[in-house]
Amino acid sequence: MSNYSYSEIQDMQRKAMERVREMKRNSDIVTSSAQKEFDRETLIPPVQKVIEPKITNMPPNFPKNNPYPSFKTVFENENKVTVKEQKPPQRPAQEKRDNIIETFFAEPDKALLLGLIMLLKSERADEALILALTYILS
């Protein structure tokens, strides 16, 4: 500031005030034109389009009941066949462990929840979330 004289500083302030007044005039013009446009739009009620429901006919060869078996029944049937065919003689401890695994394969939802709980526990997630998932699991 020491490089400017007092008259130069006053001149800069005057020019700044002129720019502020010009910006104010421009904003007043824009807001007044926008207000006029808004008033015109509110006077004319908007035309509402009537939506009519469209009825779609099903194809004549569409099956009446569900032709696809549920995921759970397919999974259980596949699991039963493979376990019976490929079951080698086992010790009692290993058999108990396999029964637990078969239980989770029979219920894929529980297997997914158990995997999610283990992943969250290893990531040190919120304990309340892990307890809630454990409650859902039981």
Q: Which residue range(s) make up the domain with 125? A: 71-83+90-137
Same domain, 4 and 38: yes
Between 32 and 72, name the one with better pLDDT. 32
Same domain, 125 and 78: yes
Same domain, 77 and 36: no
Which residue from 103, 133, 101 is spatially nearest to 120, judged by alpha carbons?
A: 133
User: Which tokens go with 10?
Assistant: 């006053």
Percent of the chain with pLDDT over 70: 60
Q: Does the structure show a pLDDT above 90 at 24?
A: yes
Within a domain: residue 54?
A: no
**Beta carbons within 8 Å of 79's beta carbon, 6+ residues apart:** 102, 105, 106
Within a domain: residue 57?
A: no
Residue type, 110: K
Within a domain: residue 65?
A: no
Within a domain: residue 53?
A: no
Residue whose entry in the numeric block shows the structure tokens 């997630």: 125
Widest pairwise Cα distance in the chain: 105
Mean pLDDT of 60-78: 66
Mean pLDDT of 130-138: 87
Number of domains in the chain: 2
Q: Does the structure show a pLDDT above 50 at 83?
A: no
11-15, 43-47, 61-65, 112-116, range with greatest mean pLDDT: 11-15
Within a domain: residue 55?
A: no
